[in-house]
Amino acid sequence: MEAKSKKAGASRLCCLCNLRRPVLKRPKTLQQICRECFYEVFEEEIHQVIVQNRLFKSGERVAIGASGGKDSTVLAYVLSELNRRHNYGLDLFLLSIDEGITGYRDDSLETVKRNEVQYGLPLQIVSYKDLYGWTMDDIVKMIGLKNNCTFCGVFRRQALDRGAALLKVDKLVTGHNADDIAETVLLNILRGDIARLSRCTSITTGEDGPIPRCKPFKYTYEKEIIFYTYAYFKKLDYFSTECIYSPNAYRGFAREFIKDLERIRPRAILDIIKSGEDFRIATTTKMPEQGTCERCGYISSQKWCKACVLLEGLNRGLPKMGIGRPRGVNGDHKMETKKPGSVAKSIESKQCGSLDF
Ligand code: SF4
């Protein structure tokens, strides 16, 4: 009887240190662990991902895409800690995009400005207004709440590269976590977007473009980042409101589906990522050829990059001009009928919704 009660008492201790009471069950491993051990394994796992994938070299300048949301805030905090602790030798910066969304981005940027002071990281903000002459508020006024995320996603991608160029950084890191990546794998399968499917699980992308992008949280579960675990324990200062223009129901369904799978089988998230990693494209599949935009010089597989096409539509009062799949040289902007064996070049870039960049 005494032995039985001792055993029951022991099972309530952290399964890593066997000293303290557990405060959470890790979704990835189902281990019940204490707060101190959680900090340690959380940070150590990210360090191992960085080292094993050789994400950085000493002396590099690295911009952290910072939206003020939980993922990028935790990323900024952890990366500055690891940089100090393990002597990575990185020069870190915060890079924020101001899409011009009143009541959302203006508030979240205030959080990033506080993070600048809290973590001692210089901050660069680039705005859609300065780069394109349009804010998202203006765009939504013109086009309504349909396709607004397409404009925003395409503009953000370029804006991040332009901001990174201003900072003269060697790399850009984003706070995409394991849930985001699993969701993107699923969405690319549902859309038949083979080109994106083949690269969405890469931990580093854009090595042939202006600035490579890395995802140090590739294997980090969202549950461990969100407030009731890491961010809550560490009391990090982050912004948790969703964008007021977030209508992305399709992504929302995919997200819910992943969450349902995770409830039944927590490893499902890592397994979906693994499926994406092991995916191989048939050599007969035609892939888009990478070139540069004739107008602005940005990377593009068409005559004009998507941002220039969308911008032209806005400036001409024809905002639907760039929506859909362009055919050939994107001068006529007619809708393309997908041919068997060809790759759909979806214009929808990774949209944020509740995601951090
Ligand atoms: Fe832009 Fe994201 Fe808002 Fe869509 S949900 S408008 S992509 S900030």
Backbone angles phi, psi at 239, to 5 degrees: -110, 130
> Do the Cβ atoms of 94 and 112 come closer than 8 Å?
yes
Q: Say what the pTM is.
A: 0.85
CA distance 272 to 281: 17
CA distance 105 to 96: 10
CA of 143 to the centre of ligand 1 (A): 14
Place of tokens 């976590």: 177
Q: Which atom of ligand 1 is nearest to the CA of 149?
A: 4
Does the C-beta of 276 come closer than 6 Å to ligand 1? no
Does the C-beta of 148 come closer than 6 Å to ligand 1? yes
Does the C-beta of 356 come closer than 6 Å to ligand 1? no
Does the C-beta of 351 come closer than 6 Å to ligand 1? yes
Does the C-beta of 319 come closer than 6 Å to ligand 1? no
What pLDDT does residue 344 have? 33
Does the C-beta of 200 come closer than 6 Å to ligand 1? no
CA of 297 to the centre of ligand 1 (A): 25
CA neighbor of 96 nearest in space, from 18, 174, 43: 174
Please name the residue whose Cα sits nearest to atom 7 of ligand 1.
149
Per-residue pLDDT of the chain (357 residues; tens, 9 = 90+): 444 444 444 568 999 999 999 988 888 888 999 988 999 999 999 999 999 999 999 999 999 999 999 899 999 999 999 999 999 999 999 999 999 999 999 999 999 999 999 999 999 999 999 999 999 999 999 999 888 989 999 999 999 999 999 999 999 999 999 999 999 999 999 988 888 888 899 999 988 778 999 999 999 999 898 744 555 667 788 887 888 998 666 788 889 999 999 999 999 999 999 999 998 877 776 767 778 899 998 888 889 999 999 999 999 988 787 776 544 434 433 333 333 333 333 323 334 533 333
What pLDDT does residue 231 have? 59
CA of 131 to the centre of ligand 1 (A): 17
What pLDDT does residue 50 have? 98
CA distance 270 to 44: 18
